[in-house]
Structure 1
Amino acid sequence: MAEHQGDRIPRVKVGAQGLEVSKLGFGCMGLTSIYYDPIPDEVGISIITHAFAKGITFFDTSDIYGPKTNEILVGKALKKLPREEVQLATKFGVVKIEADNMVIKGTPEYVRLCCESSLKRLGVEYIDLYYVHRIDTSVPIEETMGELKKLVEEGKVKYIGLSEASLDTIRRAHAIHPITALQMEWSLWTREIEQEIVPLCRDLGIGIVPYSPLGHGFFGGKGVTETVPANGFLFSPFISQGRFPRFQAKNLDKNKVLYARMEKLAEKHNCSPVQLALAWVLHQGDDVVPIPGTTKIKNLDDNIGSLRVKLTEEDMKEISDAVPIDDIAGDRIDEHHVRCSWKYANTPLRDGKPSAY
């Protein structure tokens, strides 16, 4: 590997099939999302290249981000980077997102169409890690995985991942072809996967890629030290009535207490609350690679700084105790959106939509 400033960032193995990535990844969604403050393409590209210069080599996108435009942007950035040094992850399966409506599709024909389309948009010959973004429960996961296995055999995909998958789906999918990574929401205030999902992944040798490791920005001060934009992601139209419950006024006032506790602990560790919260996720194990995203270089550098925060087992317990699950006000996502989460991954769908929609 060529020498660059980021050689200081540790590299870890994700899964048992040989994928090696930077210990901290980068979630690219916000670089083209209409739910965040829009930024010019050249700024988004500069953020990706800056992340690489700092040592981040693991970049995460999806065909639904934009939609489509995020992969195009990432593809432009990749042309400025040595392809063999980048681990590129993208996803398929979410056809479209509307108000209270996420259309999901996992047929073999759709798998192949999406993969070939993503390859063209990204301008690459292969995808390092290809995720099933959401599970289409109207199609047996064995059929979806069967086509993904063919794509691996053809060299178009190197490794297969799942996102928001249930225990049963993970087991069944892994029996068809080894799953390298599972992408799930995991942060100090979203810890439902710890009881069963994480142990299963470790039993099967599956790496864990936490998205929203900072609680959708809460531990970076969103809603506390930073105002939540009225037209921002947390109030976007594809979330029921435009809200994440934890950021609703009635819950946010209670949750601010958690942030205050993290501020005090951050002072103790000589870091920012965002760095402490991200360090907590990073310390969950060598098989855990969070992918925080941002549209600002300063925030990216702050996130990278979390790698310098060293925590003992006692520190980890103290941080966990500062944000006890029972003290968190509000659900992580609304009652409609949760129907597309792992808890409902075995719920029958009608016309590609969760039956609750």
Structure 2
Amino acid sequence: MAVLGVRRMKLGSQGLEVSAQGLGCMGLSGPYGPPKPETDAISLIHHAIDSGVTFFDTSDIYGPHTNELLLAKALKDGVMEKVELATKFGFIFAEGKIEIKGDPAYVRAACAASLKRLDVSCIDLYYQHRIDTRVPIEITMGELKKLVEEGKIKYIGLSEASASTIRRAHAVHPITAVQLEWSLWTRDVEEEIIPTCRELGIGIVAYSPLGRGFFASGPKLVDNLDKNDFRKNLPRFQQENLDHNMILYEKVCAISEKKGCIPAQLALAWVHHQGDDVCPIPGTNKIQNFNQNIGALSVKLTPEEMSELESFAQPESVKGERTMATVPTFKNSDTPPLSSWNAA
């Protein structure tokens, strides 16, 4: 029985319909500490479906590969038909380093591998996980367009692309969704990328809407992280920045107490209130946390409450970059002009 309040929504203008809140599955396979036991992870996925959440987000890099294999096990025997499945390509490990790839041969090979792992004939939504800044976006999109025409993917998405990259990609083939980090402590996308998506009729999928767990646990989150949790290395979670960022968390707590909800629900409700074209995909590996996240759909915020939240959730309210300094091309990335590829 679906929980009341998990409405359906149109994601983008190409026909994809999803649950208004999705489930980010990365945490089931790391890198937020050790992977969840397979039986527990499958139970969580089935619970999500029973609760009305049918939009699942994975990637070939999660694990790597094991997250897609996990979803294939969880969604077999007719369950796959009940869900909307999104996966991604673009990350590879090469000689101990992470590399981003978007050339046609790689796009095709990555899609074939994901289809096999997921045990499906067609992927609902296929994202370029990060932008290859060496390959013109028109070249990458050209191959993705072929995969749509061949029936191997239904809809195309981008993640962490700049506004200009989104426009150029959309001119080759309609983009259904752009996935980006959006939360009370990450709002830079509101200046240019969100308006571009809305102008073009592109759906918005917000990852890390709880600030990678910060709005669920506050500063104490860092004390409880597994030794292998990559968040330990993020600038915002370093002690000198965390002390400052605690002020934002305390203000969110004060408002949530007045609203009769927990801080995580308030932060997630703020994302939901950004518009009917926004689908947040909070991740968790615990059913209790999942149920709390679903509760955010019932939290209604007035324009005055939205303004109050946004008055203190400003860039100066947050210290530390949202990504590590070693990976600057991981966000809002551009690609070279098409002419550079033709001349190569």
TM-score, normalised to structure 1, is 0.90
C-alpha contact 2:136 2:336 (8 A) present in aligned 1: no
Q: 2:252 aligns with which of 262, 267, 285?
A: 262
> Aligned pair 1:20/2:31, yes or no?
no
Label 1:80 to 1:31 Cα distance change in 2 as closer, same or farther (>3 A): farther
C-alpha contact 2:135 2:335 (8 A) present in aligned 1: no
Residue 293 (structure 1) shift: 0.5
2:33 maps to a residue whose letter is Y
Residue 82 (structure 1) shift: 2.9
> Aligned pair 1:170/2:159, yes or no?
no
Label 1:246 to 1:347 Cα distance change in 2 as closer, same or farther (>3 A): farther
Residue 74 (structure 1) shift: 0.7
Residue 221 (structure 1) shift: 1.0
2:276 maps to a residue whose letter is D
> Aligned pair 1:315/2:322, yes or no?
no
- How large is the RMSD of aligned CA atoms in angstroms? 1.8
Label 1:300 to 1:81 Cα distance change in 2 as closer, same or farther (>3 A): farther
* Counterpart in the other structure of 1:355: none
C-alpha contact 2:115 2:123 (8 A) present in aligned 1: yes
Q: 2:153 aligns with which of 145, 151, 157?
A: 157
> Aligned pair 1:32/2:21, yes or no?
no
Q: Residues of 1 paired with 2:132 and 2:108: CA distance?
A: 15
Label 1:304 to 1:313 Cα distance change in 2 as closer, same or farther (>3 A): same
Q: What is the aligned-residue identity percentage? A: 57
The gaps in structure 1 that reach 5 residues or longer are 236-241, 349-357
C-alpha contact 2:213 2:221 (8 A) present in aligned 1: no
C-alpha contact 1:179 1:206 (8 A) present in aligned 2: yes
Residue 327 (structure 1) shift: 1.6
Runs of 4 or more, structure 1, over 6 Å off, are none
Q: Residues of 1 paired with 2:222 and 2:260: CA distance?
A: 21
Residue 81 (structure 1) shift: 5.2
Residue 125 (structure 1) shift: 1.3
* Counterpart in the other structure of 1:76: 73
Q: 1:111 aligns with which of 98, 107, 112?
A: 107
**Secondary structure in structure 2 of the residue aligned to 1:29:** coil
Q: Residues of 1 paired with 2:35 and 2:179: CA distance?
A: 25
Q: 1:208 aligns with which of 186, 193, 204?
A: 204
> Aligned pair 1:248/2:238, yes or no?
yes
Residue 102 (structure 1) shift: 2.7
Residue 245 (structure 1) shift: 0.8
* Counterpart in the other structure of 2:317: 327
2:29 maps to a residue whose letter is T
1:278-317 aligned within 5 A: 278-317=268-307
Residue 232 (structure 1) shift: 4.0
Q: Residues of 1 paired with 2:147 and 2:258: CA distance?
A: 49
2:158 maps to a residue whose letter is L
Q: Residues of 2 paired with 1:233 and 1:319: CA distance?
A: 29
Q: Residues of 1 paired with 2:94 and 2:239: CA distance?
A: 25
The gaps in structure 2 that reach 5 residues or longer are 338-344
1:102 maps to a residue whose letter is I
Residue 84 (structure 1) shift: 2.5
Deviates more, 1:111-120 or 1:314-323: 314-323
* Counterpart in the other structure of 2:341: none
Q: Residues of 2 paired with 1:18 and 1:60: CA distance?
A: 18
TM-score, normalised to structure 2, is 0.93
Count of residue correspondences: 337
1:49-128 aligned within 5 A: 49-79=46-76, 82-96=79-93, 101-128=97-124
Deviations 1:174-228 (A, max 9, x none): 0000000000000000000001000000000000001111111000014336624
